[in-house]
Amino acid sequence: MPFWSKTSAAPRWLDTWFTDRTSRFLRLTPPAEPKTPDGPVGTQGGLSPPVRLTIDDVGTLSAFWTASYGGDDWYMDAQPAWVSTYLKDPSVVVLGAFDSIGNLVATIVSTPFSGADTELSTGMMLHYGAMRVIEGLCLAKGWRGRGVAGYMIGMMDCWTSAKLPVAHLWARETAVTPFFSTALRTDTYAMAPTNKLVGSIGCEKMEWLHFSDLWQRSFRSWMMNEGEGKPPPQIVSTKPVNRSDHIDIWITKKRHDIEAELRKVVVVANTRRRSIPGDERIFEVIWCGYLVGGRLKPNTGTRGFRYVIESIGAGYKDSLLFASSGYLGGEARPSWAAPWRYGRSGVHSWHIYNYMPPVFGSCEIMAVRDEI
C-alpha cells in the first residue's frame, strides 16, 4: 500500500534492527492531505472528500458494511443497533467517502485504544485518545485496487492529528506470517465449530463492571511485573472497553474447598462476522488470564487454557470459535486435535503507526476492547 511507503510516520523494516526504543512520536506535525484517487473506468468524477458520518447515516452504513465488508468465507452482520454504538460515540471517528452519484463507497474508523490512558512498558503514558486503532476500512468492490485504501488511511491521519500527534494501532489478517515485517506481534489462528466442542470444566460469567474494576486495579502490577523481574514489552490499556456489549467474561467456577485458589479468566468477543456458506456466528478469544488474590493476572504460559476454552465454546451453539497462538489468545498449538484446525485460518498481526513501540515482533497488546 503506497501510503505506508511514503509517510514518515510508519516504522521501517530497518527500525526493527536498531536498539533505540525511546518512546516517541515519529511525526509531530499534521500530514499533508493526500491526493484524491480517480474513480473506476466508466464512472463520471472521482471520490468525494471523506466526511464524518453521524447517527443519521446508520442505515446507509449498515447496508454498506453488510454488502461490502467481508471475505470469501465471511461477511459482516452489520445490524443498525450495533453500528449505531459507534456513530453515537463522540470519541469514535467514522469517515465515509461517496461517489459522484452519492453512493457510499469507502469507510474508515478510528477508535480509542483504551477507555482511559494508555501506558507502555517503557514507562511512557499516552493520554486518552492519543493511542487509537484503525478499523472499519471497507471499499466497494469497484473501487478496490485504485489506492483508495491508502487514501482513506491518509485522510484519517489528517483528521485525527490536526491538533495533536496521534498514534494508531492497526490489525491485519493474512494467510501466512510475512518473512519481513514491522509487526508488533503475529499470532496464528486455530478454529473449531462450537457444536463439536465438549465441555469438561465448570465456568460462569463475570459481570462486565466487576471485570473492568478488577482490570483497573490490577494493570499496574503488570506494568511493574511485581516480583518477577523486568516487565515484558507491552502496550497496556488502563481501562477495557465494551461499547456494544458484545464481550463475554468467563471464569472457572470457584471451589469452596480451596481458599486462595487460582481461577482462569477467558474473554470472548462476538466479532459480528458470520461464516459463508453456513452463516455461523464467529466468536474469538481475545484475552486469557487468572483471578488470584483479588487481582487479574495475564496468562504467561504457565498453564494450558485449551480445556477451559472448549468448555466455554461449547455454550455458543451453531458458531465458530477462534483462538490464537499468543498467550492472551489462548496459546493454541498445532497439537490441538480435532475439532480444532490450527494454521488453516491465517495469522493476525498488530502494527503501529506514528510511535516507536517497546519492541517489534514480541510486544503484548494488553487490552480488552470492541473491534470492528
| Domain layout of the chain by residue ranges | 2-172, 187-366
Q: How much is the pLDDT for 372? A: 92
Spell out the long-range contacts of 171-177 with Cβ–Cβ below 8 A and sequence spacing 24 or more. Answer: 171/133, 171/135, 171/348, 171/349, 171/350, 171/351, 171/371, 172/348, 172/349, 172/351, 173/346, 173/347, 173/348, 173/349, 174/346, 174/347, 174/349, 175/346, 175/347, 176/346, 176/347, 177/347, 177/349
Q: Fold for domain 2-172?
A: Aminopeptidase (3.40.630)
Q: Is the pLDDT of residue 227 over 80?
A: no
Q: How much is the pLDDT for 37? A: 81
> Which region among 23-37, 167-181, 251-265 has the lowest average model confidence (pLDDT)?
251-265
Instruction: Tell the residue number behind the cell numbers 534492527, with chain if given.
Output: 17
Whether the CB-CB separation of 71 and 92 falls below 8 Å is answered with: no
H helix or E strand, kind and range, residue 313:
helix 306-313
Provide the pLDDT confidence category of residue 257 given band limits of 50, 70 and 90. low
DSSP string, 237-267: ESS---TTS-EEEEEEPPPTT-SS--EEEEE
Helices 80-87 and 58-68 meet at what angle, rounded to 10? Answer: 120
Distance separating alpha carbons of residues 78 and 86, to the nearest angstrom: 11
Distance separating alpha carbons of residues 53 and 51, to the nearest angstrom: 6
Distance separating alpha carbons of residues 246 and 330, to the nearest angstrom: 19
Average pLDDT on 64-85 reads 96
The values of phi and psi at residue 198, to 5°, are -120, 125
Average pLDDT on 338-345 reads 94
Whether the CB-CB separation of 284 and 321 falls below 8 Å is answered with: yes
Summarised one tens digit per residue, pLDDT across range 270-296 is 999 999 999 999 999 999 999 998 999
Amino acid in position 15: D
